[in-house]
Amino acid sequence: MTATPPADPRFAANAIPCDGCTLCCFNEQVILRPEAGDVLDDFDWEYIASDLYPGQRVPALKRDPATGHCVYLTETGCSIHERAPAICRRYHCARTFKALGRMSRCRRDILWAMGNVLDRAQVERGRDRLQRARELGIDHLIDTDAQVRAFERIADAHKSGRR
């Protein structure tokens, strides 16, 4: 299989095939980011509290009360793939795994101990997808600087008790 690098490096993770996986769509918090171009009126959404944004209520896609998953997830995958929120287009488990590998053991342990930041199944999937990206020769496309900074901010805030 060949993968075509996307033109926009911000979405480089899109070049890494998910091969039918929809695991991250099971996420309980698909946060919308107007500053990244999300138009709230385009989605079925609600305000939620999120540990990723301590002390704030942030807009997020609604969840199906029957499954707990994003309301746009169907048996065949995302029903709004072409206009999915920025976080869905940006997120890739391979990035998460790669970013964790750049962090100190101490901060990684804090994130794991928090219990609601890292999803073990997605991290394991990220290990597999990063390996796949390496096989395809495109692992260099997965930028991690912003993800590492975000993880470090969360870990440090938790450690200092500011949250």
Site for ligand SF4 in 26-45 (CB under 6 A): 30
Nearest to 69 by CA among 96, 90, 51, 88: 88
Do residues 95 and 13 make contact, with C-beta atoms less than 8 angstroms apart?
Answer: yes
Residue of 12, 32, 72, 158 interacting with ligand SF4 (CB under 6 A) = 72
Closest approach of Cβ 80 to ligand SF4, in Å? 5
Q: Which is nearer to ligand SF4, 93 or 148 (CB)?
A: 93
Q: Is 97 in the site for ligand SF4 (CB under 6 A)?
A: no
- What is the rounded distance in angstroms from the CA atom of residue 82 to the CA atom of residue 91? 15
Region of 32-40, 47-55, 77-85, 146-154 interacting with ligand SF4 (CB under 6 A): 77-85
Residue of 3, 11, 14, 22 interacting with ligand SF4 (CB under 6 A) = 22
DSSP, res 83: G
Q: At what angle do helices 93-101 and 145-159 cross, to 10 degrees?
A: 60
Specify the amino acid at residue 79. S
Q: Which is nearer to ligand SF4, 73 or 99 (CB)?
A: 73
Specify the amino acid at residue 30. V
